[in-house]
Structure 1
Amino acid sequence: MDDEHEETLLRSAALQNAESIRLARRRAELQTEATLREQASLLDLTHDTVFVRDMRDTVTYWNRAAAELYGWTREEALGRVSHRLMQTVFPAPLAEINAELLRSGRWEGELVHSKRDGTKVSVASRWVLQRDEHGKAVAVLETNNDITERKRSEADLLHKTALLGELFEGGPDAMVLSSLDERVLRVNREFTALFGYSAEEALGRHLADLIVPADELERSLAARALAHSTPRRVAFDGVRRRKDGSRIQ
């Protein structure tokens, strides 16, 4: 009887211990779930799009900003392959990007995504790799910042710069672009034809030393001082000197 009683006590203790372990695990799971919900709630406050995908690129989390930018609700995005969903255009082969991500734990670059309505959006993208306690890669946190307007402005600026360059180079008058200290930065074709200097010869030279006769230097400096003191356009007549020493009125 004593042996049976002892066995019963041991069995009861084992069951109680197992139940305690189960309850402890459940409390830990509930705490983890609560922490994840709190973190997800915080991520919904950011203006950047944030989503999490597993190592097969399947979306497992999709914040409010992502829904607002791309047009898919959280329920619609979850379970979808992110790169297929948004038809991602990468700056390099995806295999190379993933290799860098696995090697360094992060990747940054510019991507082009398609919204639900088909419009394109340029984003500055940052990827961070998440590993488990054993060091195994389990997920990727991707944060995207919409830079579409910035890219459009940059393209517009490049276009205008190119247009101004064409107007400068093809202008009918001799023109020179100089720094604030009067060093030559650029001359056009008419300048080289009129004064006899090649663009390479003129580059970096002081404008007064290049084309102003010695007896006109004081008058030229006074005129330029006036031009620098007012936002208005200032025009003045003067004598200039060619490379061969001949003068131009």
Structure 2
Amino acid sequence: MRTEPQPAALDTEQTLALFRGMVESADDAILGKTLDGVITYWNPASERLYGYSREEVLGQSVSVIIPPERREELADLLARLRRGERVDHYETVRVRKDGARMEVSVTVSPILDGSGRPVGASAITRDISAQKQAERDLRHVALHDALTDLPNRMLFTERVSQALARKRRDPDYKFAILFLDFDDFKAVNDSLGHHSGDRLLVEIATRLQSAGRPGDLVARLGGDEFTVLLDEISGPSDAESAARRIQRALASPVLIQGREFFITASVGAALGDESYRRPEDLLRDADIAMYHAKASGPARYQLFDLPMRERAQARLTMQTDLRNALERNQFRLLYQPVVELKTGRLRSFEALLRWHHPTRGVVMPTDFIPIAEATGLIVPIGAWVLAEACRQAARWHRASRRTSPIRISVNLSARQLGHARVVEDVRRALADAESSGMALQLEITESVLLGDGHGSVATDLLTELRLLGVELHVDDFGTGYSSLTYLHRFPVQAIKVDRSFVHRMGARRTDLEIVRSIVDLATTLGLRVIAEGVETQAQRERLIAFGCELGQGFLFAEPLEPASAIVMFETRGPVTRA
């Protein structure tokens, strides 16, 4: 049986030659050195990497390629080699002949004699500068906002976490965070587009950085929300001073597409203390303070305190309960009569919403409608009010001996009017209740009516609603007194004088004249006038003297349950409070 010839074993010289050839042709820089750090070997890749020729470095200390601030590493490295230890993939910095620095990965191995004792060392070095730069670039992208290049939420949270850890170690250390939200920023996006909005955000970022101190961290969380970490402060006054610097930095207008924009920010602040365990909690409280500032008007500042959190938590609880209220049938409608002021005869009812909460009892609209507006829940709630008022009118009409229609007014909110299906909601409410025996009157506040500037959108929408056969009334009239000249542009049939003017008629002559002017204007435009909040006979007599036709208020009746309201409708006589 034939066997293949086996290759002859290499002798020592051949082995060394092969090894040297491999090292000489390697892409990685390979050098040899003594246990004292003297260079004994330098391959061609080392020449390319470091810029030194072999002749220049042989016999030199390896410290020639180590930056001065890193040379302490050499003593530790040589000590480990003397103990026979191997060092794998050690990342450090080396310096070229021309002074350029580079990041490298080094693996150092001891060279052992026949008895296993270290007698020298070899080092394999690879340039990882490009890899480390790519890693830094990726980290920067991950931790910075793409538009403004400011730190993003992740980096800001990381820095706040570090500040909280320092606070736990050092009780004397003080810091705070500011939470900023820009007033009416949406108007820029809506009027000029998102590109211009982005330009404004970049300018805001620049100004915020200019207003900061060295060591402060400005970040963009998203949208028009920015935060500032105030490091090493002395107390609350420093946070307020920082907010004032920011407002001054924002004071000058920004020129975009040839137009000047003035920007203001609502600023909330929260002081870091030992009670905070997570950065998210501190951000939450600064956010709460910011919303309190915004509620006070533009360009306001507010420092967080514990009652704010309690109110925010109560609001959140109410919001959760409100989401369940419709499904659990907790809403009820009461009906307040609207009467002829001269005769006291009933003309219509206004449907008023009440929330029968299982633990809070009856919750008035002033306590939950703002939450419903802010969350958008007002849209389904408002649709239910429309439908229920129409159903109630249909029930009354079927049970009544009278043939005259039952007039019911229902309020439409700003969010409802802005909803795409508001006309369909009204149409469906009328159709589902088969309420041919009612006259639906929709009340829209004056501020909502003019919310789009000059009312072109509102006019088109109101015209669609009028085509359904409903009347349109302007509610709370007088609170936007400057808008009187716009009134003729809208297809409305009546205005309701705001109760605040009616209430103060006897105390301030100005309010008396406002009411007189409103009635005169309405008469000129052919509109009916309904006075809200009539509580005294003196108010009633003044309104009659001005020519005001209709009114509602406690002088005549409180809001009534449906059963009491239909009895009043059937009575036909003057409405009087029981």
- Into which bin does the TM-score normalised by the smaller protein fall? 0.5 to 0.7
Q: Larger relative contact order (C-alpha < 8 A, sep ≥ 6)?
A: 1
The answer to whether the 8 Å contact 2:84/2:117 transfers is no
Q: 1:43 aligns with which of 14, 23, 26?
A: 23
Alignment correspondent of 2:225: 173
Amino acid at match of 1:78: L
Q: What CA distance in whole angstroms lies between the structure 2 residues aligned with 1:52 and 1:210?
A: 72
Alpha-carbon distance in 1 for matches of 2:317, 2:290: 13
Classify the secondary structure of the residue corresponding to 1:117: coil
Q: Which residue of 2 aligns with 1:140?
A: 121
Q: 1:93 to 1:85 in 2, by over 3 A?
A: closer
Q: Which residue of 2 aligns with 1:71?
A: 51
Matched residue type, 1:66:
S
Give the Å deviation of 1:53: 0.8
1:181 aligns to what?
none
1:126–1:143: 8 Å Cα contact kept in structure 2?
yes
**One-letter code aligned to 1:115:** R
User: Are residue 80 (structure 1) and residue 80 (structure 2) matched?
Assistant: no
For the pair 1:115 / 2:167, whether they are aligned, the reply is no
* Secondary structure, counterpart of 1:84 in structure 2: helix
Once the two structures are superposed, the pairs formed by residues 1-249 of structure 1 within 5 Å of their partners are 31-87=11-67, 90=70, 93-103=73-83, 105-108=85-88, 109-160=90-141, 161=143, 163-164=151-152, 165=156, 166-169=218-221, 172-173=224-225, 188=283, 191-193=287-289, 213=320, 247=371, 249=374
Gaps of 5+ in 1: 1-30, 176-184, 199-208, 218-244
CA contact under 8 A between 1:174 and 1:194: conserved in structure 2?
A: no
CA deviation map 1:212-249 (0-9, x unaligned) = 847769xxxxxxxxxxxxxxxxxxxxxxxxxxx97262
Q: What displacement does 1:192 show?
A: 4.2
Q: Give the Å deviation of 1:152.
A: 2.6
> Secondary structure of 1:167's match?
strand
Q: Which moved more, 1:122-131 or 1:144-153?
A: 144-153
Matched residue SS, 1:126: strand
Partner of 2:186: none
- d(CA) in 2 for partners of 1:151 and 1:211? 51
Q: Using the alignment, how far apart are the partners of 2:318 and 2:100 within structure 1?
A: 54
TM-score where L is the length of structure 1: 0.55
Distance 1:213 1:74, change over 3 A: same
2:57 maps to amino acid: A
> 1:194/1:89 Cα in 2 relative to 1: closer, same or farther (>3 Å)?
closer
Using structure 2 for the length normalisation, give the TM-score: 0.26
Aligned positions, number: 176
| CA 55–125 in structure 1, closer or farther in 2 if over 3 Å, else same | same
SS at 2:219 equivalent: helix
Cα distance in 2, alignment partners of residues 94 and 210 from structure 1: 63
Distance 1:134 1:151 in 2: 40
**Larger mean Cα displacement after TM superposition, 37-46 or 94-103:** 94-103
RMSD: 4.1
CA drift of 1:77 comes to 2.6
Distance change (3 Å), C-alpha of 1:103 and 1:55? closer
Matched-pair contact (CA < 8 Å) for 2:29–2:126: yes
Q: Hey, what's the Cα distance between the residues in 2 that align with 1:91 and 1:157?
A: 30
Unaligned runs of 5+ in 2: 1-10, 145-150, 157-217, 228-278, 293-303, 306-315, 325-367, 375-578
By how many angstroms is 1:36 displaced?
A: 2.3
Deviations 1:120-157 (A, max 9, x none): 01111111111101232111110111111223333444
- The question of whether the paired residues in 2 share the 8 Å contact of 1:88 and 1:114 is answered with no
Alignment-mate amino acid for residue 126 of structure 2? N
Q: CA deviation at 1:172?
A: 4.1
Aligned partners of 1:195 and 1:102: how far apart in 2?
65
Contact kept, 8 Å, 1:124 with 1:145, in 2: the verdict is: yes
TM-superposed CA distance for 1:173, in Å, is 3.1
Distance 2:226 2:68 in 1: 49
Partner secondary structure for residue 131 of structure 2 = helix
CA contact (8 A) 1:125 1:145 kept: yes
Percent identity of equivalent pairs: 25
| Distance in structure 2 (CA, Å) of the matches to 1:144 and 1:120 | 14
Q: Which moved more, 1:103-112 or 1:119-128?
A: 103-112
Letter in 2 for 1:167: A
* Structure 1 residue 85, shift from structure 2 partner: 4.4
